[in-house]
Structure 1
Amino acid sequence: MLELSDIARVLAVLAHPDDVDFGSAGTIASWTDAGVEVTYLIVTDGDAGGFDDGVTRAEMAELRRKEQRAAAEAVGVTDVRFLGYPDGRLEPGFDLRRDIARVIRQVRPDRVLTHSPERNYQRIAPSHPDHRVVGGATLDAVYPDARNPYAFPELREEGLEAWIAREVWLSGGPNADHYVDVTEQFDRKLAALRSHASQTAHLGEELETMLRGWLEGNAAAAGFGEGRLAEAFQIVETA
């Protein structure tokens, strides 16, 4: 695993607005606190999510982009990008791989964070089909697409040279092997999630209770001790 002192830039590639905040906002807050530059790449606009039947899909997409930008600010992230793919209808393919590889070459991250492409039978929610597609496409974009100068020649024509991201962190999968203590960042994680009011306002105080339960379970698995909170990842070396 790369030391935090070796990380200048991170690219987080997630399927929907709020995915990064449920899985990783505490960890990302710890990175930005250390001076790491973090970029969010959100593949869909989340237009198929929400609880208000009076909001059109176009209105929901605009709202969720706004919510994600506000959530990002809560953890020190200012660069938030959207690819605009259809929510709930993602499919594996070369277009998605190319679009992610393009941003990898633009941002030139040392570390990439994304969904696990594996189904988690212990917690089904992180295994949303869009999550698995984005996780798989991101891993393919990291290796081989972004580093292969002959993959997607149109990217070189755009002036984007090959780039090797040295490490990928997978969130939401069944094989976590690394835990980050986010006890001190919990309030910012909660603030980020409350920024997604279209998705979380109906939960009220239950949101905090639910989050603490998840993160306490992670901390217990990591052996961090009573009262600690943690986020869980699987780390893949890609250099």
Structure 2
Amino acid sequence: MLSENEINRVLVVTAHPDDVDFAAAGSIARFTDRGVEVTYCVVTDGDAGGIDRELDNGGMAELRRTEQTNAAKIVGVADVRFLGYQDGTVVQSLDLRRDITRVIRQVRPDLVITHTPERNYRFISPSHPDHRAVGGCTLDAVYPDARNPYTFPTLLHDEGLAAWTVREVWLSGGQTPDHHVDITATFERKLSALHAHASQIDHVEGFDDFLRTRSSRFAAEAGLGEGSYAEAFQRVPTA
């Protein structure tokens, strides 16, 4: 497993704008505070989200891209990439594996954070089909695609993207997390990043209390003291 000082570049691959902030914004803020380079790769523009249907026909997609870009700035991330897949219809495919592999070879991260590809029967929200498809394709892109120069050869021959081995993956949203990050010091920035997604949460009554309760529960599972907050992941060694 990677130690903290071995993580210099992080790539976060998620299905929708706001996924990274629900799962990992507190951890991301910790990384950027110590100078780690973080890149977000968002597979869809989130155009099927929100309740304002007057923003159909591209308006919601544009709004959500802006919200994610603004949320990223709050936790110190400037590199946000959107792959443009259609929200709500993502499936595991060679095309998506190739597109994620491309970003991995461009960014060359030590750590990748993404969704678990498994269904969570304890808490259904992380099990959105797009989440599971993106998590599965990201794991396939990490192993074997990104490290194998013979996979998607045009990435090497036409784009000059050499093979890259990611050393560890953190999965969010699973039933059996085994790694907790203390985000007590960065919790308020996580909350602010989520509030940047106004189209998704402004109508949710008691949102702040919900987030504090969930983050407190993760902290209790980690054995942290009262008043602490945490994020939870499953660590997957890959090298």
- The two structures share one fold, judged by TM-score above 0.5: yes
Q: For residue 96 of structure 1, report the CA deviation from its aligned partner.
A: 0.2
Q: For residue 57 of structure 1, report the CA deviation from its aligned partner.
A: 3.6
Partner residue of 2:67? 67
Partner residue of 2:38? 38
TM-score (norm 1): 0.98
| Cα deviation digits, residues 34-72 of structure 1 (max 9, x gap) | 110000000000000011121114000000000000000
Residue 238 (structure 2) pairs with residue 232 (structure 1): no
Q: For residue 227 of structure 1, report the CA deviation from its aligned partner.
A: 1.0
- Overall identity of the aligned pairs, in %: 65
Separation in 2 of the partners of 1:28 and 1:57? Answer: 32
1:174 is matched by which residue type in structure 2?
A: Q
Residue 165 (structure 2) pairs with residue 164 (structure 1): yes
TM-score (norm 2): 0.98
Partner residue of 1:122? 122
List 4+ stretches of structure 1 deviating above 6 A. Answer: none
Residue 98 (structure 2) pairs with residue 79 (structure 1): no
Residue 215 (structure 2) pairs with residue 215 (structure 1): yes
CA contact (8 A) 1:218 1:231 kept: yes
| Cα deviation digits, residues 86-135 of structure 1 (max 9, x gap) | 10001111000000000000000000000000111110000100000000
CA root-mean-square deviation: 0.7
SS of structure 1 residue aligned to 2:203: helix
2:148 is matched by which residue type in structure 1?
A: N
CA contact (8 A) 1:120 1:126 kept: yes
Separation in 2 of the partners of 1:5 and 1:26? Answer: 18
Q: For residue 3 of structure 1, report the CA deviation from its aligned partner.
A: 1.4
SS of structure 1 residue aligned to 2:109: coil
Partner residue of 1:94? 94
SS of structure 2 residue aligned to 1:203: coil
CA contact (8 A) 1:48 1:57 kept: no
Residue 224 (structure 2) pairs with residue 196 (structure 1): no
1:141 is matched by which residue type in structure 2?
A: A
SS of structure 1 residue aligned to 2:54: coil
2:8 is matched by which residue type in structure 1?
A: A
Q: For residue 203 of structure 1, report the CA deviation from its aligned partner.
A: 2.2
Residue segments in structure 2 that go unaligned for 5+ positions in a row: none
